């Protein structure tokens, strides 16, 4: 299963500042390929992958049974602009978004809400990285 990532997604995952124990929020996970690879690379860490599409979440869960069973990966169907930490859920160290319209400028008003929700879900100093750099760029979350 290690070869399921496209060259572009692999470059993005390789560019992430991953380390053991990190808590990562992936926004717009689609079928979950990047989320599975990130979960493999963070040892005792944890990935929550979200997508607004029920179909994408169903595909991701079906392809990720081992990672989900290990407790290192879970999925939630929610739009980023509506995302909130669950009661008692710890904040995340890092957020990643690839091809998410609310964060790449395609939907500016939604983007304002999305960035506020992400900021609220990250630890102080937590980072949001999106595609569109080489291969990633950081989005400032400070107002």
Per-residue pLDDT at 140: 84
Would you say 138 and 129 are in contact if contact means Cβ atoms under 8 Å apart? yes
Higher pLDDT, 132 or 46: 46
Q: The tokens of 15 are what?
A: 């560019």
Range of the domain at 127: 2-139
- Report whether the peptide linkage leading into residue 21 is cis, meaning its omega lies within 30 degrees of zero: no
Confidence of residue 142 (pLDDT cuts 50, 70, 90): low
Supply the CATH number for residue 7's domain: 3.40.50.150
> Per the structure, how many domains does the chain have?
1
% of the chain at pLDDT higher than 90? 85
Per-residue pLDDT at 4: 77
Burial status of residue 134 (CB atoms within 10 A of its CB: 0-12, 13-18, 19 or more) = exposed
| Strand segments (E) across the chain | 23-27, 46-51, 73-77, 92-97, 122-131, 136-139
- The predicted-structure confidence for 18-59, as pLDDT tens digits, reads as follows 999 999 999 999 999 999 999 999 999 999 999 999 999 999
């Amino acid at each position: 299963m290690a070869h399921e990532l496209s060259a572009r997604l692999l470059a993005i995952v390789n560019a992430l500042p991953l380390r053991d124990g990190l808590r990562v929020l992936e926004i717009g996970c689609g079928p979950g390929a990047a989320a599975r690879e990130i979960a493999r690379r963070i040892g005792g860490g944890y990935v929550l992958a979200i997508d607004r599409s029920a179909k994408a979440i169903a595909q991701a869960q079906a392809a990720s049974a081992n990672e989900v069973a290990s407790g290192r990966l879970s999925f939630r169907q929610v739009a980023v602009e509506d995302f909130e930490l669950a009661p008692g859920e710890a904040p995340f160290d890092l957020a990643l978004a690839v091809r998410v319209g609310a964060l790449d400028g395609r939907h500016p008003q939604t983007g304002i809400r999305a960035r506020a929700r992400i900021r609220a879900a990250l630890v102080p100093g937590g980072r949001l990285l999106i595609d569109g750099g080489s291969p990633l760029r950081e989005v400032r979350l400070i107002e």
